[in-house]
Amino acid sequence: MARKIPAKLILEYRAMGLSRNLIAKTKKVGRDSVSDVFKRADDLDLTYKDVEDLSETAVYQKLFPERYQSETLYDVPEYAYIHKELKRVGVTLKLLWNEYKEKCQAAGTIAMGYTKFCQGYQDHILNYKLTNHLIHKPGVTTEVDWSGTTMEVIDRASGEILTAYLFVGTLPYSQYVEATFNQKSETWLQCHVNMYRYFSGSTVRLVCDNLKTGVIHHPKEGDIILNTQYEALGEHYLTAIMPAPVRQPKKKASVESSVGKIAMAVVAPFRNDTFFSLEELSGAINERLAEFNARPFQKRTGSRHDIFKQEEAPTLRSLPEFPYEVSEWVYGRKVNLDCHIQYKNNYYSCPYQYVRKSVNLKLTKQRLDIYHQDERIASHRRFGLYQKYQWATLPEHLPDQFNQPEWDDIRMKEWAGSIGPCTLSVVNRIFDSVKVKEQAYRSILSVLNLSKKYSNTDLEAACLLALTKVTAPRYKQLKTILASGTLNQNHSTKVKTQSDQQGYIRGAEYYGGDE
């Protein structure tokens, strides 16, 4: 459907003395459309004063009744009335939309959906340059953005100048600022978490810019596609994330204005200061921000902090019991025979039913959750950054005697014994070195699989030699011996003779050993 001509606005501009060309250019309306409004108004002897109290829709209907009938599918709301009602305490767009819908049902007309209803109200505000009461009503909207202004931090050790970016979050009267070293998605999300903690609550809506860290796609029509984690953050805090329309900054005016105020109040005083860490810069910003929010207004009593305590804080939604945890995902990890997955040289257990299956890992600073086909099957506290080769094992994840996996300790010992007594001794010592037998499976299989690359005879000889040098030989020592080609031939001959005397025993091929 073609966009309706803003007839009332054109008549208002005409009354102000603007020409056809200037009106067309200012409102991005075709010159012919402006001329049509002028002609119809002249034919009906109408001026702006005659229609000043009518809605845009009513004026359009009066000037172009034939077009209105053919173009109108929905019953158009009285947005002037809606704008007036929103000033009243407790009145929301949702309430007014429900009342409008009931009115349409009673009249037998078609009501537009909630999204179109809200969009129509936004257009009404822009057309008439009105103050959006919805945006400035406490507890309704939080606006966020990266400030275009940056600051500098000097690395004390190297002297390198590092760029610090400023995240700005704002309520109608209160601001939050955080300095970061990057604008990555994880940082963007964590800034939101910190902002909500600072405000001690969340709002119904969160208006952001169309940054790739939060918004994947924002078409003129159709569904907005948000970053998955950004959408999850909104669900966690029960706030609707609403990206501002592309190239329409007036719909995100509070944060745009706050960015400029923050630049003057917080950044400018530091222009001659030097900071040597992000913590030092953040501390200075917090002090300035507290001063900024406590500074008395020039044209009204109180300060931003007073308004926050009296009007904004009581209307904010309570925060969840736990803050949102920024996470990353690792896909396609295989559950090993020992019922563990490996992540950064540490091992985390899974239920034995998922051995050899592919799982995904959800990682936060504190937790590692394991998912199989969107179902969480295990959760562990993550090991520290500098902890290596640690095992997180839950007993219930390991099989009992009635639910043995494809490989178990008995079968592995049988395979080792089929190779030779020294190999069996190595396997037993590996089992003895762990608290839970399943933790040894991977190490033992890597040792036994060397017999496939070399031979049973060579592996047995390598185990014999390794046992004379190391208490509990592992794959690395045995691999080095085998790869060097320096096995004592006498040992090999002796081992071969012993093996031949023991007769035929089923080996790796029979047991299905694999790399």
Residue 222: what pLDDT? 37
Query: How many beta carbons lie within 10 A of that of residue 369, not counting itself?
Result: 17
Separation of first and last alpha carbons in the chain: 65
Read off φ and ψ for residue 507, nearest 5 degrees. -110, -155
Mean pLDDT of 288-299: 84
**Co-location of 43 and 124 in the same domain:** yes
Q: Is residue 467 part of a domain?
A: yes
The pTM score is 0.49
Tokens of 351: 């239920």
Q: Pick from 289, 315, 341: which residue ends a domain?
A: 315
Statement: residue 499 has pLDDT above 50: no
**Co-location of 334 and 217 in the same domain:** no
Residue 219: what pLDDT? 42
301 or 169: which leads in pLDDT: 169
| Residues 194/169, Cβ–Cβ less than 8 Å | no
Burial of 113 (0-12, 13-18, 19+ CB in 10 A): exposed
Q: Pick from 95, 112, 131: which residue ends a domain?
A: 131
199 or 120: which leads in pLDDT: 199
Which residue type does 144 have? Answer: V
**Co-location of 109 and 152 in the same domain:** no
Q: What is the DSSP string of 94-119?
A: HHHHHHHHHHHHHHT-PPPPHHHHHH
**Co-location of 304 and 365 in the same domain:** no
Tokens of 257: 């204005």
Statement: residue 44 has pLDDT above 80: yes
**Co-location of 108 and 199 in the same domain:** no
Q: Is residue 403 part of a domain?
A: no
Q: Is residue 320 part of a domain?
A: no
**Co-location of 288 and 436 in the same domain:** no
Q: Can you list the positions of beta strands (E) in 373-486?
A: 375-381, 391-392
Residue 341: what pLDDT? 93
Q: Is residue 380 part of a domain?
A: yes
**Co-location of 53 and 165 in the same domain:** no
Which residues on adjacent β-strands are paired with residue 361?
Answer: 330, 370
Q: Is residue 502 part of a domain?
A: yes
Q: Provide the CATH number for the domain around residue 263.
A: 3.30.420.10
**Co-location of 54 and 121 in the same domain:** yes
**Co-location of 384 and 309 in the same domain:** no
CA distances from 59 to 52, 72, 85, 177 (A): 9, 14, 21, 45
| 3-class state of residue 355 by DSSP | coil
pLDDT digits (tens, 9 = 90+) for 359-375: 999 988 889 999 998 78
How high does pLDDT run on average in the chain?
79
**Co-location of 149 and 127 in the same domain:** no
Q: Of the spans 46-60, 412-426, 481-495, which averages the highest pLDDT? A: 412-426
Q: Is residue 136 part of a domain?
A: no
Residue 349: what pLDDT? 93
| 3-class state of residue 4 by DSSP | coil
Mean pLDDT of 404-414: 76
Q: Is residue 39 part of a domain?
A: yes
Tokens of 495: 């081992």
Q: Is residue 13 part of a domain?
A: yes
Structurally, the chain folds into a number of domains equal to: 4
* Domain coverage including residue 73: 7-131
Distance CA 171, CA 142 (A): 5
**Co-location of 438 and 474 in the same domain:** yes
Percentage of the chain lying above the pLDDT 70 cut: 78
Distance CA 121, CA 103 (A): 18
**Co-location of 81 and 55 in the same domain:** yes
Local confidence band at 396 (pLDDT 50, 70, 90 cut-offs): confident
Distance CA 275, CA 511 (A): 65
pLDDT digits (tens, 9 = 90+) for 453-492: 888 888 989 998 888 888 888 888 898 888 887 665 545 4
| Residues 44/62, Cβ–Cβ less than 8 Å | yes
Tokens of 265: 């109040």
Q: Pick from 131, 159, 178: which residue ends a domain?
A: 131
pLDDT digits (tens, 9 = 90+) for 254-280: 444 555 566 567 777 787 889 999 999
* Alpha carbon 443 to chain centroid, angstroms: 37
Distance CA 445, CA 441 (A): 6
| 3-class state of residue 411 by DSSP | helix
Statement: residue 350 has pLDDT above 90: yes
